[in-house]
Amino acid sequence: MSEGRKSKPRVRPTRPIGLSQDGAPTKVNPLPEPHEDGWFIAAPMSNRLYQKSALGKPIDGGIVVSEEELMFCHWHRHLPLPEGWVDGRLEENPDFAHKVVAFDVVRNAGDKVVPVDGEWLRWARESHPSKSDPVASVRWARTGDELIISELFDWTREISAKGMMNEIAIVDDEMDVTMYRLSIINPTGNVKPASKDNHPMLGVEHLSRKFLRDDELDWINGISNPVTNLFDELNNRGLLVRPGFKYGCRWRVYSTPVDVDHAPWLMQMENESPKNWEGVCLSVRLAEGVNKGWVIALDRDGWNFLLISRHLPGR
């Protein structure tokens, strides 16, 4: 048997249906009532939920909560559920369980996450929607969901323009959640750009001669295609690229000569990027395991760079 780590595996939450007796009130809270915009919770319980935790939307006499907020209140605020309600939601939406688990994870970290017009907005734990603007827009997805990089880029650009962060919760088939943060970066370096006639930093020395890669030769010979166009962009930014085969990507991207410092980024082109979140998880975990950022390059009226990194909720 392996003599590896002695620590025990963490206990995985099961989120059962039914009120917990731990910290339960002496008087059972009333059932929520159906409402055209969700589920109605009356005062005085609604006052505590909204004022302290930013749960629900205030209306006359109480608040209206979404289905994910309702489940959060059931698990953490001793709110009973109508008989058969969960069964009904699962019949209507096979992804219901994954959605409410994602919401539970991002909110249970202490921050205030609020459904607003079909999206989740996040406030820091010391803030409140009535007093400040959100700091992040949060989405959720399942591991096998199709990954449309162009749509993620547009979303990131839109949210970044509002001064907020982009976060996404990925729910796997064990109901575990991995969080990612998306950002548009502007990578630059200190390497003197190569020219077609003078390129001492390109190629690799072996057998007393210089070996150039196909992408380097194509660029030197003036061949225009997406690869050489991106190569040219990175070169003009003072960056040096090396093969990324060992890391499952197109290039390692250096901001200094190779013998000065490690490459801060692993770069993939949009058309070569993963097709679902399982592929993203593998790429990001590998990159961050060697202290690098995983970047996707997209050509949108010029080259843009989307960084996807792991994010721990509540930090």
Whether the per-residue pLDDT at 40 is higher than 80: the answer is: yes
Residue 5: pLDDT band with limits 50, 70, 90:
low
How would you classify the pairing of strands 204-206 and 165-171? unpaired
d(CA 285, CA 216): 29
Peptide bond into 44 cis (omega under 30): yes
The burial of 208, by beta-carbon neighbours within 10 Å (0-12 exposed, 13-18 middle, 19 or more buried), is given as exposed
Q: Counting every residue, how long is the chain?
A: 315
Cβ atoms of 117 and 128 closer than 8 Å: no
pLDDT at residue 195, as a whole number: 96
Residue 240: strand pairing partners: 254
Instruction: Tell me the pTM.
Output: 0.91
Q: Which pLDDT band, with edges at 50, 70 and 90, does 1 fall under?
A: very low
Structure tokens belonging to residue 162: 């509002």
Joined together, the tokens standing for residue 193 give: 């750009």
In whole angstroms, how far apart are CA 124 and each of 2, 107, 159, 179?
42, 10, 17, 16
- Going along the chain from its start, the domains and CATH numbers come out as 18-99 (no CATH), 185-311 (3.40.1350.10)
Supply the mean pLDDT for the chain: 94
Q: pLDDT tens digits for 217-260? A: 999 999 999 999 999 999 999 999 999 999 999 999 999 999 99
Q: Is the pLDDT of residue 18 over 90?
A: no
Indicate the pLDDT class of residue 23, thresholds 50, 70 and 90. Answer: low
Span 29-57, mean pLDDT?
95
CA angle, 54 as apex, 48 and 57 as ends, to 5°?
95
The pLDDT tens digits for 51-92 are 999 999 999 999 999 999 999 999 999 999 999 999 999 999
pLDDT digits (tens, 9 = 90+) for 194-214: 999 999 999 999 998 899 999
Q: Which of 27, 28, 65 is nearest to 46 (CA)?
A: 65
Q: What is the pLDDT of residue 4?
A: 60
pLDDT, one tens digit per residue, over 171-198 is 999 999 999 999 999 999 999 999 999 9
pLDDT for 197 equals 94
Query: Model confidence at 9, in pLDDT bands (50, 70, 90)?
Result: confident
